[in-house]
Structure 1
Amino acid sequence: MEFTVEQIAFMLNGEVRGDKTLKVSQLAKIEEGTEGTISFLANLKYEQYLYTTKASAVIVDKSFEPKKSYSPALILVENAYSAFTTLLQEYQKILSDSKKGIEQPSFVGENTTLGDDIYIGAFAYIGKGCTIGKNVKIYPQVSLGDNVTVGDNTTLYAGVKVYSNCVIGSNCTIHANAVIGSDGFGFAPQADGTYKTIPQLGNVIVEDHVSIGANTCVDCATMGSTIIRNGAKIDNLVQIAHNVEIGKNTVIAALTGISGSSKVGDSCMLGGQVGIAGHLHITNRTIITAQSGISKNIKKEGLILSGSPAMENTENLRSQVVYRKLPALEQRLRELENKLK
């Protein structure tokens, strides 16, 4: 589809500096822009490309003042990065809206309710007694167990598996091959050294506006529910164990593992490869840097933690300085011992 610069500026509540009638039909990086594309400039490290780009339009902050001449029209907004994100979302919506109807072969179980304007891809399986909202996109090879609920405007990409009785909210995105509701890791050791499986009878509840990345696993609860609260964003290859609760607007980067029955508060940020032991509580607004290990409750809000076992980031940085000096300190200690002898 093709839009004028003026139409895009109206959509973004921005103003145009330059030719309002220029037409754009694609998005591009500023350094790769060509005629008919639109880009953005949010990081001044890329300012040099504004003066050489062939893009027809560039979104910039209102506070930005060019230092040289440039050719594209500028769309001035409060926050260029946020505005371009909005544009990406609208572009994605236009592309996804073309997916409608039920492809064959696919299977829909008895007593399942399908909302309006849905898409079900080939080889998808939907069990008995499910409730699927309006404008839901279910891509090929998705499998939904019995009595699953999927809210309005949610997208399940190819290969997603949702076990029986799980609940997926509205406006969610679950990426390819994620598994929602698989058994929690529950095994009771026996006297003879074997392990007895503990039945996992609960479910998973994913609230609204949640994003879950590819190949991420969210285990069902032993009893009750594993819960992902509103607005949480979870990266690829994350493991969330049984009875875990992830708070509102918390973000979790790839390869993080959260052990059973731990609770992560609202608006937390977990870096890549973070590990959280079981039955812990991480309070609101906690930031945990990459590869950190959490082995105790975090009660004070707003802390930045790093290291394994994790400690406050400033303490960990000071410890790292000492750690790097250990070989030299050992040598000095040996020299002192030799002098004493």
Structure 2
Amino acid sequence: MKSYSVQEINAVLRGSIIGDTTHSISSPEQLELADQNQISFIGHKKYEKFWMASKASVAVVNNEISIEPGENRVFIKVQNADLAMSQVLELFAKSAPVFDNPIHDTAVIHPDAILEEGVKVGAGCYIGAGVVIGKNVTIYPNVTILDECTIGAQTIIWSGVVVRERCHIGACCILHPNATIGADGFGFRACPERGLVKIPQIGNVVIGNGVEIGSGSCVDRGKFSSTIIGDGCKIDNLVQIGHNSVLGKFCIMAGNSGLAGSVTLGNGVIIGGSASIKDHVTIKDGAVVGAGSGVTGDVEAGITVLGYPAVEARKALKQWAILKKMASQCS
């Protein structure tokens, strides 16, 4: 088990040590569950009140925290406790699952596929014709990568992922279990003779570098060209991205949110959990869509929208206040 002194941890964080402790730190834990050999964090002044009841001997805290750590306890003060805590978690992270052999005997790899140096492929994987997999890619058991796909260097693909034909994934990406890249877009049209006619989806998916896609999420292939996920985007679990949608760089989509077809997100857009975005909508750079909102029209850069249908946040809050007042008058 890894164990660190406060000084060793602070050598990574480069914060200011307040107080002293005889305890070594064996793991991180949330404030209310921590014991004396664990480190926690306080990211905002409103959580100061929980420190005295906690048994943690060390906490990473923002510089604004005004309380003292107390006897045999330490604060490590930093500019941003959330970011610093991510460094602490890296210190204590356990090793990834081990591959006894770089390429498992049960993996099926087409002779035309190209696997560059350092690639690892787990049991039960299928890699199709014309696939190119870059250096040091890790593919865990039971992954399917169909024909003519490319996977960039140092990408990690967890078990159960399916990457359909002709899709392209950049470097340093992470695809979590059971994500699906390149499923058919949802395209049907009514026909008097045949009922609902399926519209062929002949495009693909192009994913940039440093993208993370959560478990059970689906990125549909384009009907004509490409569904595009820009560099650095972070997609939570159970997210739906419809065909021919285009995400700019560093967008965030929280769990159970969804984009219909041909949605465009600018750079740095944030979509809250369970939010729904109508087809052919454009959400410009830096805009935020609140959790559970339904967006039916374009959203200008830098604003926050809330509600169903979504409107600018201040307007939504005024509407809710009026409704609450009306309800109280009628009761």
- Does TM, normalized by the shorter one, top 0.5? yes
Task: Supply the AA of the counterpart residue of 1:323.
Answer: L
> Which consecutive unaligned segments of at least 5 residues does structure 1 have?
332-341
Structure 2 CA distance for aligned equivalents of residues 314 and 62 of structure 1? 31
1:308 equivalenced with 2:308 (yes/no): yes
- Superposed CA RMSD: 2.7
Structure 1 match to 2:182: 181
Structure 1 match to 2:164: 163
1:29 equivalenced with 2:30 (yes/no): yes
2:60–2:78 Cα contact (<8 Å) kept: yes
2:182–2:205 Cα contact (<8 Å) kept: yes
In the TM superposition, what whole-angstrom CA distance separates every residue of 1:145-189 from its partner, at most 9, and x where no partner exists? 112222222222221111111111122122111111000111232
1:1-341 correspondence runs (5 A): 1-18=2-19, 23-51=24-52, 53-67=54-68, 69-92=70-93, 95-96=95-96, 98=98, 101-192=102-193, 194-298=195-299, 300-324=300-324
1:51–1:71 Cα contact (<8 Å) kept: no
1:59–1:75 Cα contact (<8 Å) kept: yes
2:20–2:72 Cα contact (<8 Å) kept: no
2:60–2:85 Cα contact (<8 Å) kept: yes
1:269–1:286 Cα contact (<8 Å) kept: yes
In the TM superposition, what whole-angstrom CA distance separates every residue of 1:29-72 from its partner, at most 9, and x where no partner exists? 23333354332222334435544544453322344343362323
How high is the TM-score relative to the length of structure 2?
0.88
2:185–2:222 Cα contact (<8 Å) kept: yes
Structure 2 CA distance for aligned equivalents of residues 113 and 2 of structure 1? 42
> Which consecutive unaligned segments of at least 5 residues does structure 2 have?
none
Moved more, 284-293 or 316-325: 316-325
1:5–1:21 Cα contact (<8 Å) kept: no
Q: Aligned with 2:32: secondary structure? A: helix
- Which structure carries more helix by proportion? 1
1:185–1:241 Cα contact (<8 Å) kept: yes
Structure 1 CA distance for aligned equivalents of residues 325 and 39 of structure 2? 51
Pair 76,104 (structure 1): closer, same or farther in 2 beyond 3 Å:
farther
Task: Supply the AA of the counterpart residue of 2:147.
Answer: D
Q: Aligned with 1:254: secondary structure? A: coil
Structure 2 CA distance for aligned equivalents of residues 192 and 95 of structure 1? 58
Q: Aligned with 1:39: secondary structure? A: strand
Structure 2 CA distance for aligned equivalents of residues 186 and 12 of structure 1? 50
How high is the TM-score relative to the length of structure 1?
0.86
Report the count of equivalent residues.
329
Note the C-alpha offset of 1:319.
Answer: 2.3
Q: Aligned with 2:88: secondary structure? A: helix
Structure 2 match to 1:339: none
Q: If you compute each CA radius of gyration, which structure gives the higher value, 1 or 2?
A: 1
Note the C-alpha offset of 1:241.
Answer: 0.8
Structure 2 CA distance for aligned equivalents of residues 36 and 262 of structure 1? 48
Q: Aligned with 2:59: secondary structure? A: strand
Note the C-alpha offset of 1:207.
Answer: 0.6
Pair 16,326 (structure 1): closer, same or farther in 2 beyond 3 Å:
closer
Note the C-alpha offset of 1:91.
Answer: 4.0
Moved more, 233-242 or 305-314: 305-314
Structure 2 CA distance for aligned equivalents of residues 220 and 62 of structure 1? 46
Structure 2 CA distance for aligned equivalents of residues 91 and 165 of structure 1? 38
1:204–1:226 Cα contact (<8 Å) kept: yes
Moved more, 61-70 or 13-22: 13-22
Structure 1 CA distance for aligned equivalents of residues 99 and 89 of structure 2? 18
Note the C-alpha offset of 1:226.
Answer: 0.3
